[in-house]
C-alpha cells in the first residue's frame, strides 16, 4: 500500500493531498499542467519536504512530520524525469551501470540483461546519449531507474516531450515494465490515453487537491474527470475478452452481456482488453434497432442520468455488469422519457472507440 497524506505551501500554491493506493500497480496522477502532479512526486522522492503529513510505501515509513525524514538517496526510489537527464559523458551501458551502482546491495529485482531485453536496448549499449532519439533516451532513463532496485518508481510525465510517434514507441515498453516487475509505479500525465493504457488506479488532481480517486473504469465516468477532458473527449473505460479478430483487423470484444467490434490494435484473441468508448459518439435508442450490424448494438438499462452542460444529458447505462456512457441532447432525453431502470439500446461504432489495449494485471 502507498499511503500518503501531505500538505505543502509554496507562495500562492498549496498542495493538500491524501490517498491510499494499492501496490503493486500503476497509480496515475492525472490533471492539468500546474495542478500539483510534479510537486507531489517530488514530495514522494524527498526532493521537497512537506510542511505536514506522512508518506509510507509498503510498510516503509519515509516521512512523518517531526519524527522521520529519510534522505532522498536512502529512500530507494527511482525517478524518471520528463527530459531523461542522462549523463552525456557516459554511454548507454555506462548510464545503466550507474543505476546498478545506486542499488547498494538491495535485493535484485531485475538484472542488467533483463532490463536490456525488456526495454529493447541491446543495439544501443555502445552509443552516447546525443546519438539517441527522444524515445530511446527515455527508455534508457527508465532502465537506469529500474537497475537501482527501487521500492517505488516515479515517472513524471515521461512522454510529454515526445511527439506522437515516439510516444507510441515507448508506451509498449512501459506496459511490459508494468506487467513483468512487481514494482509500484507512480505515473503522472495530462494525456488520458496514457492513463487508459497503463493505470490500475487513478488520482484526479485539481488545484493541489485530490478531486477523485479509484480504479480506471470508475474514474472514467467521474464528473471530475469529464471536467478535465471535456465532453467530446470523455467516455467510459470498460474491459472485455477478445473473442476473435476478423480479416479486416476488427476485434470482437465481449462487453457485459453483449459484444462490439473495434480496431484490434495489439490485443490477441483470448486476451483481456481495456477500451475507452467516447460518450459523445454513442447513439441511444429505447427500441431495438433494426438493419444494423448486431456487433454494434448493446442492450442495457439506465443506471443513472443527469445534465451534462448546457443543453445536454449524460446517460450511464449498465450493459450487464459493464457501464457505458451516452451523451444526448436534453431535448432528446426528454423526448425519450428516460428514467432510471429503463431498458435502452446503445449503438457503438468502431469510430467511437479509442483503441483496444491489453488490460493491466489486477
Please state, in angstroms and rounded to a whole number, the distance separating the CA atoms of residues 33 and 36: 8
Give me the pLDDT at residue 275, please.
87
CATH number reported for the structural domain that contains residue 23 in this entry:
3.40.50.300
pLDDT tens digits, 81-125:
988 899 999 999 999 999 988 877 666 567 899 999 999 999 999
Question: Residue 303: is it exposed, middle or buried by C-beta count within 10 angstroms (0-12/13-18/19+)?
Answer: middle
Question: How many Cα atoms sit within 13 Å of 119 on the Cβ side?
Answer: 31
**Residue that finishes a domain, picked among 188, 206, 229:** 229
Helices (H), 269-350: 330-336
Is the preceding omega at residue 260 within 30 degrees of 0, hence cis? no
Residue-range definition of the domain harbouring residue 296: 235-358
The CA–CA distances, whole Å, from 269 to 7, 219, 272 equal: 47, 27, 9
Same domain? For 268 and 217 the reply is: no
CA dihedral sign, ordered 20, 21, 27, 32 = negative
Same domain? For 217 and 286 the reply is: no
Q: Domains in the chain: how many in total?
A: 2
Q: Which stretches does DSSP call E strand in 128-234?
A: 152-156, 185-189, 201-206, 209-214
Give me the pLDDT at residue 107, please.
61
Non-local (6+) Cβ contacts of 34 within 8 A are: none
Angle at 218 between CA 215 and CA 222, to 5 degrees: 125
Cell, residue 269: 484473441
Same domain? For 125 and 197 the reply is: yes
pLDDT along the chain (362 residues), means of 10: 96 96 95 94 97 96 95 94 91 94 70 92 95 94 93 94 88 88 92 91 96 94 90 88 84 87 74 88 90 76 92 95 94 93 90 70 58
Answer for the pair 38, 31: CB distance below 8 angstroms, yes or no: no
Give me the pLDDT at residue 188, please.
96
Same domain? For 148 and 242 the reply is: no
- 3-class secondary-structure state, position 340: coil
CATH number reported for the structural domain that contains residue 285 in this entry:
2.40.50.100
**Residue that finishes a domain, picked among 199, 229, 259:** 229
Same domain? For 256 and 205 the reply is: no
- 3-class secondary-structure state, position 266: coil
Give me the pLDDT at residue 251, please.
82
Same domain? For 74 and 177 the reply is: yes
Amino acid at each position: 500500500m502507498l499511503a500518503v497524506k501531505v500538505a505543502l505551501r509554496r507562495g500562492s500554491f498549496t498542495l493538500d493531498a491524501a490517498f491510499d493506493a494499492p501496490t503493486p500497480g500503476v497509480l496515475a496522477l492525472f490533471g492539468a499542467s500546474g495542478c500539483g502532479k510534479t510537486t507531489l512526486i517530488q514530495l514522494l522522492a524527498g526532493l521537497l519536504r512537506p510542511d505536514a503529513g506522512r508518506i509510507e510505501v509498503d510498510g516503509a515509513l519515509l516521512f512523518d512530520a517531526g519524527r522521520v525524514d529519510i534522505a532522498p538517496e536512502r529512500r530507494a526510489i527511482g525517478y524518471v524525469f520528463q527530459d531523461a537527464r542522462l549523463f552525456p559523458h557516459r554511454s548507454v551501458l555506462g548510464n545503466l551501470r550507474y543505476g546498478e551502482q545506486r542499488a547498494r546491495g538491495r535485493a535484485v529485482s531485475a538484472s542488467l540483461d533483463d532490463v536490456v531485453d525488456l526495454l529493447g536496448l541491446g543495439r544501443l549499449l555502445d552509443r552516447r546519449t546525443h546519438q539517441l532519439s527522444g524515445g530511446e533516451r527515455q527508455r534508457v532513463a527508465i532502465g537506469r531507474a529500474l537497475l537501482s532496485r527501487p521500492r517505488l518508481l516515479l515517472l513524471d510525465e515521461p512522454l510529454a516531450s515526445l511527439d506522437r510517434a515516439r510516444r507510441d514507441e515507448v508506451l509498449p515498453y512501459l506496459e511490459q515494465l508494468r506487467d513483468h516487475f512487481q514494482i509500484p509505479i507512480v505515473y503522472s500525465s495530462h494525456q488520458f490515453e496514457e492513463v487508459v493504457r497503463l493505470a490500475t488506479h487513478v488520482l484526479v488532481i485539481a488545484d493541489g487537491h485530490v478531486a477523485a480517486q479509484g480504479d480506471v473504469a470508475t474514474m472514467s465516468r467521474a464528473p471530475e474527470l469529464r471536467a478535465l477532458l471535456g465532453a467530446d473527449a470523455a467516455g467510459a473505460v470498460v474491459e472485455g475478452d477478445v473473442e476473435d479478430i476478423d480479416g479486416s483487423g476488427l476485434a470482437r470484444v465481449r462487453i457485459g452481456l453483449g459484444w462490439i467490434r473495434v480496431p484490434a490494435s495489439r490485443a490477441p484473441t483470448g486476451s483481456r482488453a481495456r477500451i475507452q468508448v467516447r460518450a459523445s459518439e454513442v447513439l441511444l435508442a429505447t427500441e431495438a434497432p433494426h438493419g444494423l450490424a448486431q456487433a454494434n448494438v448493446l442492450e442495457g438499462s439506465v443506471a443513472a442520468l443527469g445534465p451534462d452542460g448546457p443543453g445536454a444529458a449524460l446517460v450511464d447505462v449498465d450493459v450487464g455488469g459493464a457501464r457505458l456512457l451516452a451523451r444526448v441532447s436534453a431535448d432528446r432525453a426528454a423526448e425519450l422519457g428516460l428514467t432510471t431502470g429503463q431498458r435502452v439500446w446503445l449503438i457503438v461504432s468502431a469510430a467511437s472507440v479509442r483503441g483496444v489495449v491489453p488490460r493491466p494485471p489486477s
